[in-house]
Structure 1
Amino acid sequence: MSTRSAARSFGLWTGVAAGCAALGAIVVGGLGIAVARRVVTPAARPESRATIHEIDRAGGRIRAWLSGPDGDLPGRYSFIFDDGAGHARLGPVLARRGGSVAREVVGVDRGTLREGVRGRITGWWYVDPSELGYRVERVAFPVEGGEAEAWLVHPRRAKKGRWAVHVHGRGALPEEAIRGVAPFARAGVTSLVISYRNDPGAPRGTHGRYGLGLAESRDVDAAIAEAERRGATRVTLFGWSMGGTACLLSAAHGEHRRLVDGLVLDSPALDWEPLLRHQATLSRVPRPVARAGVEMLGRGVVRAGEPGGLDFERLSAERFARDLRVPVLVHASEGDTFVPPEGAVRFAAARPRFVQLRLQRQGEHVRLWNVDPEGWEDATETFVRALPRQGA
């Protein structure tokens, strides 16, 4: 082959390679956009991938045979079916058969539990805080864009000025946070269990999307302001998953942070950039696609619930630890596959004087209470009772 022919051939293959690389970049970018949008867009309808195959009423108790995601988790759970219209409480696993498990049906609060119905397993257990035996009001409080709804839970013997704000996680509802109310009530703390932007009963957020705690922290701050208007002189924040992110940001930077005396966090999201890449891996998203999606959210190429992009530097365990001013109790689990505990471990190690880490061996994401409700509540109540007054 002549030198001129070789040069032409080399140029041809170089052009082909460059074209393939460009095409690959376009594909990765397009998939990255889809992944990024999914991360910050509230689901129109939660997936119902668990199925009740059989209702067994033998032996004096009702058992449901079911299969699907989380069906065999240890502990007790809610089964939400018929697009949220139905709610049943399921006890621990009693038996296994093939790919199905049998769980006791502790109660059916809404709807008719039946063979063939599809739903999802959640850690909620309660659907209304009045089930705890306390007086409850339904209230509203002003937030950006309108008003958000909340449950106001009165303890039997309220301590003057002591309040708490309970904040659920991404993709959940306020019902998720009810499990945290009882230990606060026993300690004499009045609770607001809040909704926030993009929830039913709250305004739509920017672009109708999540801000991974950055935007939602302003709704937490608005709830603190509401508690102050109603007589609070100190407020403890309780955040679940992304709600923990929002609580940490509100406690560090919110307009009403002076009132915050401490935080309780369950399965908190403390390291968002690596966390999003981990969650993409769980969905079998290729690493380059996941990385591209995160970069697009950071630069604002994909719009999220915070104008101008998401500042991932503010959403790291080290930054949260550096900004910490009050005591924190962290409930985390070695069994959490969705938000692994490494971020919580680093957070606690960075500020050991402020952070108490309660690390369980079992318990999936925001389902730690379900595995050990007594130990979980005892630790929470002890921490809340011991919180010092700000400035003390």
Structure 2
Amino acid sequence: MNASRRAAGPRASRRRTTGLGIALSSLSLALAASAGALGAVSLRVARTVVRPAGRVPDTRIVRLDAAAQTITLERTPDTVLPGRYGLFTVGSADYLRLGAVVGSDEATVTRKLLTHVPADGDLAPEAAFSGWYYDRPEQLHLPMEAVDITTDVGPCPAWEFPAEADTDVWVIQVHGRGTTRAEALRAVPVFHDLGITSLVVSYRNDGDAPRSPSGTYALGATEWRDLDAAIGYARRQGARHVVVMGWSMGGALALQAAFESSHADVIAGLVLESPVVDWRTVLRFQGRMLRLPAPVIALAQSAIRTPWGATVLRSGEPIPLDRLDGVARAAELRHPILILHSDDDGFVPSDASHALAGARPDLVTMETFEVARHTKLWNYDETRWAGAIREWVRARGLTRD
């Protein structure tokens, strides 16, 4: 697409979802009345859940104005959000940073470009809208060292951002499903300003870390061990207080570490951003959004958690959805938790987060947003988001000030 040229193709009339929802949306078209068809669709749903997938386009570029350095996108619940975002594209610039909305109508949204695009720039019309904003660690302009965390699947690469002064307080950032560790870079400056060392980690099958034997997601049931290894690494480097911050599925890993880690004594608390607290809640929500019959989702859950399903899905071992239910296991929690979640998440519903806060009001602080969508709370209201984290960290006595 050349500057000021319109992208070919229809405008926005399609339902928009993200990640897992996009991958599942085509399945609703395949439904038939027979039990056999329902079973086949259920297995396709289960495979979609456990199979790692690349980034799925969810946004259409309508126009690029290189002279004005603006980009016009198809209007969706995400592209209309205020704040700073990112856009994964195909063309002369692979990743663009987007600024404020400067114009909109019923079909489109025009945003300021914060990444320069040359006048002869050419972009394919399909793109992926993102809350990342930063896609490389050097964009933070902070000291950083690339390190490897030894795990039972091999070395998992991580970025270590040391605090300005010696400290025994660390935060470990854990990204979500279908993304990489760059997702968590937004949080590093907040903790750096608090005098805390940040470790931004990868885990098995995420595209940065090694593959497991099955090459499939276990939705946190095995991936938490890579997080546990990272906590052990931080401990050997002098950490005595470790905050674990989990984004989306990273929240499931963080909770599993709180339940299972051999290093639980150094975990000072959890910060959960748009977290998966219970996978069954997420799957039911996605099923309702896509108008899939309840039996399809129930059978998909059965395939995920049973030996016969593990065989069919080639996922190695059954995934214990009961063990991954943070609400059901709330009585086992011992660490303070800050949950940041939008009630308009659109992908991971906030129901389980609210349920966990209700089950453990002695431990859980819930900061509820609206409109902000999934893992885009920083982008939508950085001041409030960062302020909630700072207040919670200071209340735990984890800063020098």
Please, what TM-score do these two structures have when normalized by structure 2? 0.85
Corresponding residue number in structure 2 for 1:279: 286
The residue matched to 1:82 in structure 2 has which SS? coil
The change in CA–CA distance for 1:210 and 1:109 in structure 2 (over 3 A counts) is: farther
Cα displacement (A) at 1:178: 0.8
CA contact (8 A) 2:339 2:367 kept: yes
Partner Cα distance (1:84, 1:200) in 2: 23
1:291 to 298, 309, 313: 298
CA contact (8 A) 1:134 1:156 kept: no
CA contact (8 A) 1:206 1:305 kept: no
Corresponding residue number in structure 2 for 1:18: none
Q: Does 1:312 align with 2:284?
A: no
Q: Amino acid of the residue matched to residue 29 of structure 1? A: G
2:39 to 18, 25, 29: 29
Corresponding residue number in structure 1 for 2:21: none
**Per-residue deviation, residues 348-391 of structure 1 (Å, max 9, x unmatched):** 111111111000122111111111011101111221233247xx
Corresponding residue number in structure 1 for 2:341: 332
Corresponding residue number in structure 1 for 2:249: 242
Corresponding residue number in structure 2 for 1:301: 308
The change in CA–CA distance for 1:264 and 1:176 in structure 2 (over 3 A counts) is: same
Corresponding residue number in structure 1 for 2:159: 151
**Per-residue deviation, residues 286-335 of structure 1 (Å, max 9, x unmatched):** 22211111111111333379753121222224234222111111001111
Q: Amino acid of the residue matched to residue 336 of structure 1? A: D
Corresponding residue number in structure 2 for 1:126: 134
Q: Does 1:368 align with 2:377?
A: yes
CA contact (8 A) 1:267 1:333 kept: yes
**Per-residue deviation, residues 147-202 of structure 1 (Å, max 9, x unmatched):** 100000122234x2111110000111111111111111111111110010012231
Partner Cα distance (2:315, 2:358) in 1: 30
Map 1:350-365 → 2, pairs under 5 A: 350-365=359-374
Partner Cα distance (2:121, 2:379) in 1: 21
Corresponding residue number in structure 1 for 2:48: 38
Partner Cα distance (1:99, 1:77) in 2: 19
CA contact (8 A) 2:343 2:350 kept: yes
Partner Cα distance (1:83, 1:311) in 2: 42
The residue matched to 2:164 in structure 1 has which SS? coil
Q: Percent identity?
A: 35
Corresponding residue number in structure 1 for 2:114: 106
Corresponding residue number in structure 2 for 1:15: none
The change in CA–CA distance for 1:163 and 1:55 in structure 2 (over 3 A counts) is: same
Q: CA RMSD in A?
A: 2.3
The residue matched to 1:312 in structure 2 has which SS? coil
The residue matched to 2:227 in structure 1 has which SS? helix
Tell me which protein shows more helix as a share of its residues.
1
Corresponding residue number in structure 1 for 2:71: 64
CA contact (8 A) 2:101 2:109 kept: yes
Corresponding residue number in structure 1 for 2:232: 225
The residue matched to 1:134 in structure 2 has which SS? coil
**Looking at CA atoms only, which structure, 1 or 2, has the larger radius of gyration?**
1
**Per-residue deviation, residues 123-156 of structure 1 (Å, max 9, x unmatched):** 0011123322310111111112211000001222
Cα displacement (A) at 1:346: 0.9
The change in CA–CA distance for 1:144 and 1:33 in structure 2 (over 3 A counts) is: same
The change in CA–CA distance for 1:139 and 1:74 in structure 2 (over 3 A counts) is: same
2:265 to 254, 258, 268: 258
The residue matched to 1:313 in structure 2 has which SS? coil
Partner Cα distance (2:267, 2:142) in 1: 24
Cα displacement (A) at 1:89: 0.9
The change in CA–CA distance for 1:317 and 1:113 in structure 2 (over 3 A counts) is: farther
Partner Cα distance (1:98, 1:56) in 2: 19
Partner Cα distance (1:84, 1:314) in 2: 46
**Structure 1 unaligned runs (5+)?**
1-22
Map 1:187-206 → 2, pairs under 5 A: 187-206=194-213
Q: Does 1:90 align with 2:98?
A: yes
Cα displacement (A) at 1:56: 2.5
Cα displacement (A) at 1:206: 4.1
CA contact (8 A) 1:205 1:305 kept: no
Q: Amino acid of the residue matched to residue 31 of structure 1? A: V
The change in CA–CA distance for 1:309 and 1:319 in structure 2 (over 3 A counts) is: same
Corresponding residue number in structure 2 for 1:53: 62
Partner Cα distance (1:352, 1:264) in 2: 15
Partner Cα distance (1:264, 1:221) in 2: 16
Corresponding residue number in structure 2 for 1:268: 275
Partner Cα distance (1:147, 1:358) in 2: 35
Partner Cα distance (2:56, 2:328) in 1: 34
Cα displacement (A) at 1:279: 1.3
Please, what TM-score do these two structures have when normalized by structure 1? 0.86
CA contact (8 A) 2:59 2:128 kept: yes
CA contact (8 A) 2:91 2:123 kept: no
Partner Cα distance (2:106, 2:40) in 1: 40
